[in-house]
Structure 1
């Protein structure tokens, strides 16, 4: 097994690392650059984005013909981890959720006309987007088959009616991908639609307050009240909404994991720096066995996460849906992120609990990781189904073709 990365990927990784060090971390350290929701303020974000574009570090995840560099999932794993050394990193490179996943599914599933209208403005950074799937009970959450929002075809139009919530980025988004039920068919009953924020028939009911810091546009509740959309707003095809979710959510889950590894490494970095320079009772913290055990265990957990993520990324690049690989990576890295922040806060003491570092930001943000894109328990059930179906072949190595 060859774990070496290509010279091209290493070049991007190194340049991203330098950009984060020189350009983004100084902005992150300046609290004047933070907005009221704990993200980078837009007037600070735009100049950094222009610098990233000028250095060829923009939308690396997309195909060259779309405006990216075609890195593939393995290259993304390397680069996304490096981007999220800073809490502001991914959005600077246009690699943050939900735009990241929305651009990739539009690139894959949209028609040429849809790409020009709905994808290109997100790629350029002119607009942001949202993916509206999750609903209040008894509607769809981790199980999209429970979806209550309906789209009824009348002539050459669809009439959407229903409610969505915890829709990431919706308050700032201009372009929306919305899932609705078009029939009761268990496999082909859902359809994905495209719409613009300025179209009538829907409203943003509220921005839901959450424990952690927020992406731009927050997490919102939306109401569709007889919204009319023409047939050309259907993405991929009527009845193929479940396929759209499968195509989008697997890779999008993994990109979360890639970014979370970067944040976990940042926690270890802050903890290590403090331990190396803090003395107590005549002993440096870094020389205490209890601290060494904590940091050693954390380092191993991060490396385990990197291997799980890289295997899943490789599988996706081979054309697999990588369902069990993504689920394992998602469970591990979500829990790792929370642990990394907790350990780093403990080592830093009161300093870690304060806003003098980003550790408390990461701690609050990290708790949602075990919920977003499928709770731990959902992914554990997925793994159990694979185990039940595959038996000992669950752990089978894939032979190379001769």
Structure 2
């Protein structure tokens, strides 16, 4: 693969980086702009979103005919890294989870009528969305085959009963994608649906407290007790829910990694700035070999993560599924983010542990990275499965 960014992509990346520096970081620095859950408050967010739209930096991930810039996965890797220099960056460009993954999968799988009704309001920034798949025990988590929420077809509607939990953004979402069981077929038993928050037959049972800062709308537990979904709000055909989840989750996992690379670089930035001015026992921290070793290791680990992400993005752009590449990137970058925050806090000392910097925010946020969209262990099992299947071919190079 060629690691040279096309000039058009570099132009977008540069404009994103400049917008973050000029517009978002000053907003982030003022705690009056934060909401009660550690995210950007509604008023400053609306102002920044309007500016991003005005500068043509909106929904980079979508095709132009959908309302985006059509920069592809490689372009997203470069731009998402730049936008997440700020903890508030992605949402300002309408590139934050879960809307990001939901928009991409609806663009790819929804009918034109479904796109107009369900996708376009998210694209325009009028509503937020959620993806309801994970369930409490004994339902499905990392193993979607265990999903227990059922959607029974009765004439022209499906009637849904069951529970979901840790549904990101549910408290603020208007449009929901739901994965439910429509049969006991082990391969074709799941189906994807769309529903609106105002429909009867379901409720948010609670907003689940977590150790880290929260996305807008938190992480919620949902109860379904007779929600009726018209057949026209089914995504793909009945029984194609597993196919739908794979279409959504693969790219979404990778976009997490793109954003986490940006946060990891921010940790290094904060650590280097402090090490350059802080002295102890007559020596700058930046001049101590122990600090240099810490930062040098992080710099290398970040570059490894960028290469893994770019290879996966390249594979997706050329039409592959990139399951192996995405799993490798997911494990490496999730662990990298935690290490980057930890090292940066160590270098900053008590300052890093305080709320004077964003490091403690990133540290709390980072712990979820090894769990969301598949735990480390699940992705390592996936990689071992490829190793068993491919043997030495696991490391083969693509050829023309």
Q: Same fold (TM over 0.5)?
A: yes
How far off is 1:213 after superposition? 0.1
Q: Secondary structure at the match of 1:59?
A: coil
1:126 equivalenced with 2:126 (yes/no): yes
Number of the residue aligned with 1:216: 216
Number of the residue aligned with 1:330: 330
Number of the residue aligned with 1:393: 393
1:244 equivalenced with 2:244 (yes/no): yes
1:3-402 alignment runs, 5 A limit: 3-400=3-400
How far off is 1:318 after superposition? 1.0
Q: What is the rounded CA distance, in whole Å, between the counterparts of 2:121 and 2:157 in structure 1?
A: 25
Q: Secondary structure at the match of 2:362?
A: helix
Q: What is the rounded CA distance, in whole Å, between the counterparts of 1:269 and 1:145 in structure 2?
A: 42
Q: Secondary structure at the match of 1:294?
A: helix
Q: What is the rounded CA distance, in whole Å, between the counterparts of 2:199 and 2:348 in structure 1?
A: 50
How far off is 1:237 after superposition? 1.4
Q: Secondary structure at the match of 1:312?
A: helix
Q: What is the rounded CA distance, in whole Å, between the counterparts of 2:248 and 2:2 in structure 1?
A: 28
Q: Secondary structure at the match of 1:212?
A: coil
User: What's the TM-score once normalised by structure 2's chain length?
Assistant: 1.00
Q: What is the rounded CA distance, in whole Å, between the counterparts of 1:274 and 1:155 in structure 2?
A: 65
Offset from partner CA, 1:270-327 (integer Å, 9 cap, x none) = 0001001111110010000000000000000000000000000000111111001000
How far off is 1:156 after superposition? 1.2
Offset from partner CA, 1:62-88 (integer Å, 9 cap, x none) = 000000011110000000000000000
How far off is 1:233 after superposition? 0.8
Q: Secondary structure at the match of 2:64?
A: coil
How far off is 1:2 after superposition? 1.9
How far off is 1:229 after superposition? 1.1
Q: Secondary structure at the match of 2:161?
A: strand
Mind listing any 5+ residue stretches in structure 1 that lack a counterpart? none
Q: Secondary structure at the match of 2:116?
A: helix
How far off is 1:155 after superposition? 1.1
List structure 1 segments (4+ residues) > 2 angstroms apart after TM superposition.
none
Q: What is the rounded CA distance, in whole Å, between the counterparts of 1:96 and 1:2 in structure 2?
A: 27
Mind listing any 5+ residue stretches in structure 2 that lack a counterpart? none
How far off is 1:39 after superposition? 0.2
How far off is 1:187 after superposition? 1.3
RMSD after superposition: 0.5
Offset from partner CA, 1:226-272 (integer Å, 9 cap, x none) = 11111001011111110110000000000000000000000000000
Give the count of matched residue pairs.
400
